A and B are shown apart, each in its own frame.
Chain A
Amino acid sequence: MDLVISISSGICLLLGSFICVSGSIGLLRFPDFYTRMHATSVTETSGVALILIGLMILSPDLLVFAKLVMILLLGLLIGPTTGHVLAKAAYHNGLKPKLTKSGNEQSSVPSSERGGDISKS
């Protein structure tokens, strides 16, 4: 029984941490804001869920288990909401997604700092 518990929790933890790290690499490496957000918000929700489930399997008593369940519910509720609102706010404030090379003026200056300004001209 101990072996089953440790193996299953280990699988959950490893998978979850792999997903989290890959999401962070996406956050660092992807070319523009919307792709970065896609990378993090998807991976973070699943990564948090997997790691917390892995900890739940290991949890020694019921109180710890209940707290972990609460953190998991909060994460599942909060993560997608913030992603949604963040994308919406960025889009409404005129941050354009970076399209193909010829499509957009932003692609010619990829690393210029345009702090959410309205470039609707």
Chain B
Amino acid sequence: MLLKDLFAVTMLLSIYGLLSATFFVAMDAVDVAFTEASVGAGISTLLLLVVISVTGRRERRVRHKPYAALFVVILTSMLLVFGTSDMPYFGSADAPIHNHVAPRYLNDSMQEINVPNIVTAVLASYRAFDTFGEVVVIFTAGIGVLALMSVSSKALSKSQPLNRPRGLYEQHLVIRIVAKTLFPFIFLFALYVQFHGDFGPGGGFQAGVIFAAAFILYAMLFGLDAATKVIKPAVIELLAALGVLLYGSVGIVTLLNGGNFFDYDYLLADPIAGQHLGILIIELGVGITVTCVMIMICFGFSLRRRAYEQKVAIRPKEGAV
């Protein structure tokens, strides 16, 4: 039973995200579950839907039978399953991961950083350089999408705006009103996630994704024009770069104050207060970058689709999706 309908595949992928987040909750990994909930089930479904709306719903028929690829996949997965037999048992105390750096994080992070959520302490302070790498990767992905998918705004504004059927918007009256009442709560909750990351599950990545999901919802319900009036694409591109810059400048400041790169002890006179300030600033940078890159990807694909629709509307004979 092979599904060729990409839409249905996206739905099943969303179910996979839901299930794996439930799995992480059951394993007591709250922060990972939070990330999986917002990224795996939320924003990736949204982005895949945007992509499908550009590429079309059907998978192209393949002529050849990909048996060799299937063989490689089965072989690799069998090797991986064989490799798990060498792993320590789940929860065994003498597993290598429990003896390397984890005891230091668990024992000393309260004295050194004084953040109740140790995951945030590890992510934003001990491993700040790794997180910086992740942010740069996200930023690079945004730049790549922008370079590949962007259409010049002049080409769009010159031609006539496409006459969309008004009925499409009239149909959605109920949902627009419900969504309008929900937007303040979504933004408030995203801010809570952003700044509550020191104490509970949450942080910049999750908050950025929730922000971006709210903006994408707005763009879908009220049209791309209204959304670009709220945030101009140029502003988004600027902000995405600004988030990375904010993150990196914290490291530069610690260097100038005589410490190591991302050693927040040197930010302020009091090391604990310096750690708190550093974590707050870099989480803010992460949040801004993630939000802007996600919105940028969505806008890029939507603008590309609109340009295509205009091309089809001018020369309707060529339109074969």
Instruction: State if A and B touch, Cβ cutoff 8 Å.
Output: yes
- Please determine whether B181 and A84 come into contact, CB atoms closer than 8 angstroms: no
Given contacts A77-B178, A77-B181, A77-B182, contact A85 B5 (CB under 8 A): no
Interface of B is mostly: helix
B 25-46 to A, binary, CB cutoff 8 A, 1 in contact else 0: 0000000000000000000000
Q: Are B178 and A81 in contact (CB under 8 A)?
A: yes
Closest B-chain residue to A92, C-beta based?
B171
Whether B87 sits at the interface, judged by CB under 8 Å, is no
Name the distance in Å between A5's Cβ and chain B's nearest Cβ: 26
B182 contacts A88, CB within 8 Å? no
Tally A-B pairs: CB < 8 A: 19
| B269 at interface by CB-CB < 8 Å | no
Assess whether A115 is interfacial by the CB under 8 Å rule.
yes
Residues of A within 8 A of B172 (CB): 85
Closest chain-A Cβ to B7's Cβ sits at a distance in Å of 8
Whether the Cβ atoms of A85 and B175 lie closer than 8 Å is: yes
* Min CB–CB distance A94 → chain B (angstroms): 14
In the bound complex, how far is the Cα of B7 from the Cα of A98, in angstroms? 23
Q: How many chain A residues touch the partner (CB < 8 A)?
A: 9
Residue in A81, A88, A115 whose CB lies within 8 Å of B171: A88
B181 touches A81 (CB 8 A): no
A75 to B244 CA separation, bound complex (whole angstroms): 37
Q: Is the CB–CB distance between A81 and B174 below 8 Å?
A: yes
Chain B residues, CB < 8 A from A77? 178, 181-182
- How many Å from the CB of A55 to the closest CB on chain B? 15
Residue of A nearest to B5 (CB): A115
Bits for A3-19, please: 1 = Cβ < 8 Å to B, else 0. Answer: 00000000000000000
- Binary contact readout B158-186 vs A (1 if CB under 8 angstroms, 0 otherwise): 00000000000001101100100110010
| Cα–Cα distance between A84 and B177 once the two chains are bound (Å) | 13
**What sequence of 0s and 1s flags, for each residue 2-31 of chain B, a beta carbon within 8 Å of any chain A beta carbon?**
000101100000000000000000000000
* Complex interface bits, A80-98 against B, C-beta within 8 A gives 1, otherwise 0: 0100110010001000000
Chain B residues lying within 8 Å of A78, measured Cβ to Cβ, are 178
Query: Which residues on the A side are within 8 Å of B181 (C-beta)?
Result: 77
Q: Mark A45-85, 1 if CB is under 8 A from B, else 0.
A: 00000000000000000000000000000100110010011
> Which chain B residue has the least Cβ–Cβ distance from A70?
B185
Is B5 touching A81 in the complex (CB atoms < 8 A)? no
Residues of A within 8 A of B7 (CB): 115
Bound CA span A92–B170, Å: 13
Chain B nearest CB from A93 CB (Å) reads 11
Find chain A residues with CB under 8 A from B178 CB. Answer: 77-78, 81
List 15 additional contacts besides A81-B178, A85-B172; criterion CB under 8 Å: A74-B185, A77-B178, A77-B181, A77-B182, A78-B178, A81-B174, A81-B175, A84-B174, A84-B175, A85-B174, A85-B175, A92-B171, A115-B5, A115-B7, A115-B8
19 residue pairs bridging A and B, Cβ less than 8 Å apart: A74-B182, A74-B185, A77-B178, A77-B181, A77-B182, A78-B178, A81-B174, A81-B175, A81-B178, A84-B174, A84-B175, A85-B172, A85-B174, A85-B175, A88-B171, A92-B171, A115-B5, A115-B7, A115-B8
Q: Interface of B with A (CB < 8 Å)? A: 5, 7-8, 171-172, 174-175, 178, 181-182, 185
* 8 closest residue pairs by CB, A with B: A81-B178, A85-B175, A84-B174, A115-B5, A81-B175, A77-B178, A81-B174, A88-B171
